[in-house]
Amino acid sequence: MFKPFVALALAGLVGGVAAAPPGGGATQAADGSCPPLLARSAPNLLTDEAVPLCQFKGKVLLVVNTASQCGFTPQYEGLEALYRRYKDRGLVVLGFPSNDFGGQEPGSGAEIARFCQVNYGVSFPMFAKTAVVGPTTSPLYRELAAQTGKRPQWNFHKYLVDRNGAAVASFDSAVAPGDARITTQIERLLAAR
């Protein structure tokens, strides 16, 4: 059983998923529609309840497949720093734990949430374990790969999505979240209206 302070922290970790992301409400398209990439839902990390991704329309998104037992796992720290740095300007990091690469995410949703909170203070939205490659690839990851021409080759692959819901860049696992290749594009996308 979680200690009370850990349980409260975990509620905060996934709380951003069910409500509008920090930094104000989402910008709607002129016709009120949702961009095709975001016109779907993803299961909440702790409850598996469907969360509409359309709540993130109008935001710049960094979509990342994560794992708790990977050599790149310390990137959680950089992802959280990036989220805190830019969230008030409209960036949302979306974490999708995946067990597709060497069984490096074997835990339950509660175990993943606790690991992320206790070890890295993760506060950005996290979703339930997701297939990002192979025959059961989630529709979101199929579309991200189609739009960028790149599928994840390992954990912590990053996709950058603009405010219009189009995937505009793909970064391999070895590219750290704070790398100028990522931050320069985030700055450019955040400045665009």
pLDDT at 9: 44
Instruction: Give me the amino acid identity at 113.
Output: A
Q: Distance between CA atoms of 50 and 178, rounded to whole angstroms?
A: 30
Return d(Cα 65, Cα 56) in angstroms, integer: 17
Q: What pLDDT shows up at residue 32?
A: 67
Per-residue pLDDT of the chain (193 residues; tens, 9 = 90+): 333 333 434 444 544 433 333 333 333 444 569 999 999 999 999 999 999 999 999 999 999 999 999 999 999 999 999 999 999 999 999 999 999 999 999 999 999 999 999 999 999 999 999 999 999 999 999 999 999 999 999 999 999 999 999 999 999 999 999 999 999 999 999 999 7
- Are 42 and 128 in contact by the 8 Å Cβ rule? The answer is yes
Could you count the other beta carbons within 10 Å of the beta carbon of residue 59?
26
Predicted local distance difference test score (pLDDT) of residue 19: 32
What's the pLDDT score for residue 15? 43
Measured distance CA(41)–CA(49) in Å, rounded: 9
Q: What is the amino acid identity at position 81?
A: A
Q: Please pick, among 34, 54, 70, 116, the residue that the annotation labels catalytic.
A: 70
Q: Domain 4-17+36-191 in CATH: superfamily? A: Glutaredoxin (3.40.30.10)
pTM value? Answer: 0.86
Task: Name the residue type at position 183.
Answer: T
Residue 33 to residue 13: CA distance in whole angstroms: 28
For residue 19, give the DSSP letter.
S
Whether 70 sits among the annotated catalytic residues: the reply is yes
Provide the residue count of the chain: 193
Exposed / middle / buried, residue 193 (Cβ in 10 Å: 0-12, 13-18, 19+): exposed
CB 38 within 8 A of CB 145: no
DSSP 27-48: PPPTT-PPPGGGSSEEEBTTT-
